[in-house]
Amino acid sequence: MHPDLQELQEIVVTTAREELLPRFAKTSVDRKLDGSLVTEADIAMQRQLGAALMTRWPKYEFLGEELSAAEQARLLDTPNEGLWCLDPLDGTSNFAAGIPYFATSLALLVGGEAILGLVYDPHRDECFTAEKGRGAWLNGEPLGSRHYKRTLSEGIGLIDFKRLPSELAAKLVHKPPYSSQRSFGSSALDWCWIASDRCHVYLHGRQMLWDYAAGRLILEEAGGHSVTFEGEAVLRPELRPRSVAAALSEELFREWVAWLGIQVN
């Protein structure tokens, strides 16, 4: 039997309130070997939440973003009953700078598939959750049941330009197919804002497993669609980064990938 989603939510929310909110815009910052930022909040959140998960559900292994690459690879390569995949603080740069767009992202992977997903935004106290085959919710209210029908030219594009191929980025700048564009700085929340119809098409060139594992399931269970730039399914339980193009409605998704020239496999 899988973990109860409500119990899981209570553990994540409590830990985020204790470890993240008191440190918001007040934490020390270092750089990892890849140049990305890490704060004491990232480390404390991973340590406390990892301990809570391993205590409550000891049969599952635990992979966190702040583990070494060698340990992450070992966990992904070793057969297990299930694997927690955690980004303790997605949007670290925002968090350190005092920009209120960050989240904790947690997925449970079983047999290479995400079966539970949770993304918690402690600043807004918004908890996005999903269970494979059962649906997606925002603070307990179903996602995906209502969204306005719109064309690509009427939508808001949530576009991370930094990691896009230069030719594609230039095309989007000079001939944008949407009405307006945003970029906020937390991949996990980006997926959820697409799932909740706050933005309408999504594009990101490089996400790690812990960036997208929970958010992709939330969007999928809300009725949304996603694909890599190569036309493949986004989820792949490995350390290589994945690209993503996504939208909530099927019609808008088809229009978006057609404009991008993606052939869906």
CA distance 57 to 181: 41
Nearest CA among 247, 255, 235 for reference residue 117: 235
- Could you give the 3-state DSSP secondary structure of residue 185? coil
The answer to whether 19 and 41 have CB atoms below 8 angstroms apart is yes
Q: Is 65 annotated as a binding residue?
A: yes
Q: Is 211 annotated as a binding residue?
A: yes
Q: Which residue(s) pair with 100 in the sheet?
A: none
CA distance 37 to 53: 25
Backbone angles phi, psi at 230, to 5 degrees: -90, 5
The answer to whether 143 and 137 have CB atoms below 8 angstroms apart is yes
Q: Is 90 annotated as a binding residue?
A: yes
Vertex 141: Cα angle to 60 and 104 (nearest 5) = 40
Annotated binding site: 65, 87, 89-90, 211
Annotated binding site for Mg(2+): 65, 87, 89-90, 211
